[in-house]
Amino acid sequence: MTEINKGEVNRLPGTTVPWNEIVEKMEMEDISLEESIRLFERGVRLTRYCSEKLDEAEGKITMILERNTHNEKKTTFDID
The pLDDT of residue 79: 64
Per run of 10 residues, the mean pLDDT along the chain (length 80 residues) is: 54 63 88 93 88 92 86 59
The pLDDT of residue 41: 92
Distances (CA, A) of 66 to 56, 57, 63, 71, 76: 15, 14, 5, 9, 17
The pLDDT of residue 12: 53
pTM of the model: 0.60
Q: What's the CA gap between 9 and 39, in Å, rounded?
A: 16
CB of 12 within 8 A of CB of 49?
yes
> Mapping DSSP to helix (H, G, I), strand (E, B) and coil, where does residue 36 land?
helix
The pLDDT of residue 61: 93
The pLDDT of residue 9: 52
